[in-house]
Structure 1
């Protein structure tokens, strides 16, 4: 397996986990009150289901070089830790898979047969975009495969594709302007409310207030792909070369902060100029041993 692909995916995963753990701290009221002064929450920062599932994606890619859906479903189910903050539908699905259920049927049957359009497929996919960054067509196909294991609704699939492509473009075309960055992503996202939101995000690049942008684009409060992904891409388009600025900008909007920060962190971490700050990393829970992710070089 290419060392370059492993390194890119690992960098994205470390950024995703750090964003997830950082964002999760703002569900504590005292920490929310410190947002405006940009005081780092006290350690330790624990990551959530976002990181746990992203580790499974990384592990499947490292082992197979592609998304093997059966292997991914098995890893999700085996590594499932109820206390990491999974949604009730995903908790039930993974429990049933662990007990021998067919993930294809279980995923398709969610929400009266419509499938989940939640943001879970988008929150975990950035390392995949980093892995396949040299081939955007493959990014789209592999992101869809990764989403469908738990989220079959077209909006959830579109959200995963958008985040994966954004990560890939950050790797392969680091010097794009904010507008051209979103144009490049939009060109690969299927027609959807997610795409409509990214189009609106493109029109909002001239504003700098994340709370205003989130008011118009969503901040993940409804836990849907289309209420989450457009805002995260607005942030990454504007500040994808500065990890700390990207995190504070994302957190300021509130909502599903661990997930929005995980998405942004996973994308921004692959920008060569966006180094993960050591004083943040020291507060974050380490990645699980089972994922066998290389440590970042200090």
Structure 2
């Protein structure tokens, strides 16, 4: 890994990932509209504008906290999530309630740990927002996983949700190598080496073994594609799709969306990872159709 660790390069990489995430999220969300089903089958993008969801809104907070603190500050992140929380962006009910309570003065540590009878959430929310952090730490993938772990806890404290975030951050860091995107197997091998044993990790090993499969639907049937909105039902397939699509954003997004499932989230993860790497930016037309990032995101230097 030879990534430039200068502040300007870190910001540029993270912003590229954030934009890739936002386009994937916004485009994926369009295919929950029945009128757009035929377009998906034809791999034809619907007309804009495309509105992004909670995936992008939360990723913007991750990015903003990194710019301001040069690391994840959990209290600042939880506060940003709560202050910018838009109920209409598609948040799950548990996180909607948690962020409202944080905004009203609640302690995120107590609230997040109490979710789901004290088990914490094992949903895919911590993973869907984290790719820009991986791009930020492309010079240090181990630190990317550490910071991703820290970033998960304000909303997701179950081990699988945390490992899901670590895996996506690791993939984004590895994809951002300026020498060029790694081979698919090298990417998944690198991620597997950086995350602890878990259901997510087991899914990643299955994903690596299925890299030669050409039918994404078959792979999704084995790995899951977010229909249950859990980390281990979402992250392995998303990283399989990202690994096979490095350097070709459109191919990666279409392969991901066409299997269905939690399409805004799987496409957000794939878009953020692929967007981190050289040659992985979405096309200008897709960027133009996607809702602009919110005004509170510090993008001037990007």
Is the counterpart of residue 211 in structure 1 residue 217 in structure 2?
A: yes
Equivalent pairs counted in the alignment come to 296
Q: Is the 8 A contact 1:10 1:294 kept in 2?
A: no
Task: Measure the CA separation in 1 of the matches of 2:284 and 2:127.
Answer: 26
In structure 2, what is the equivalent of residue 246 of structure 1? 252
Structure 1 residues 5-50: Cα deviation after superposition (integer angstroms, max 9, x where no partner) = 1111100000000000000000001112221211111211000000
How big is the shift at 1:71?
0.3
Q: Is the 8 A contact 1:18 1:281 kept in 2?
A: yes
Note the alpha carbon deviations across 1:255-278, whole angstroms, 9 max, x for none: 000000000000001111123201
Gaps of 5+ in 1: none
Query: Contact 1:61 / 1:67 at 8 angstroms: preserved in 2?
Result: yes
Aligned: 1:199 with 2:205 = yes
Q: Which residue of 1 aligns with 2:8?
A: 3
TM-score (norm. length: structure 2): 0.96
- Deviations along 1:168-215, one digit per CA (max 9) or x if unpaired, are 000126342211211111001111100000000011111111111100
For residues 99 and 181 of structure 2, the distance between their equivalents in structure 1, rounded to whole angstroms, comes to: 40
In structure 1, the residue corresponding to 2:35 is in which secondary structure? helix
Measured in 1, the distance between the counterparts of 2:51 and 2:182 equals 33
Whether the aligned pair in 1 keeps the contact of 2:167 and 2:194 (CA below 8 Å) is yes
Q: TM-score, normalised by structure 1?
A: 0.97
In the alignment, which residue of structure 2 is the partner of 1:49?
54
Q: Distance in 2 between matches of 1:276 and 1:65?
A: 26
Q: Secondary structure at the match of 1:39?
A: coil
Distance in 1 (alpha carbons) for counterparts of 2:282 and 2:187: 22
Please say if 1:264 is aligned against 2:264: no
**Contact persistence 2:8–2:301 (CA under 8 A):** no
Map Cα deviations across residues 226-253 of structure 1 (whole Å, 9 max, x no partner): 0000001111111111000011000011
Say whether residues 1:174 and 2:192 are aligned partners.
no
Where structure 2 has 5 or more consecutive residues not aligned to the other structure, the ranges are 1-5
Q: What's the Cα RMSD here?
A: 1.2
Distance in 2 between residues matched to 1:75 and 1:9, nearest whole Å: 18
CA contact (8 A) 2:20 2:281 kept: no
Deviation of 1:294 after TM superposition, in Å, equals 4.0
Deviates more, 1:84-93 or 1:34-43: 34-43
Aligned with residue 21 of structure 2, among 16, 20, 31: 16
Residue 132 of structure 2 contacts residue 276 of structure 2 at CA under 8 Å; is this kept in 1?
A: no
Q: Please state whether the residue corresponding to 2:296 is helix, strand or coil.
A: helix
Question: Moved runs in structure 1, 4+ residues, more than 6 A?
Answer: none
Task: Answer yes or no: is 1:74 the counterpart of 2:79.
Answer: yes
1:123 maps to which residue?
Answer: 128
Q: Structure 2 CA distance, aligned partners of 1:187 and 1:115? A: 25
For 1:163 and 1:11, the matched residues in 2 are separated by 15
The alpha-carbon deviation at position 133 of structure 1 amounts to: 1.2
Q: Separation in 1 of the partners of 2:286 and 2:300? A: 18
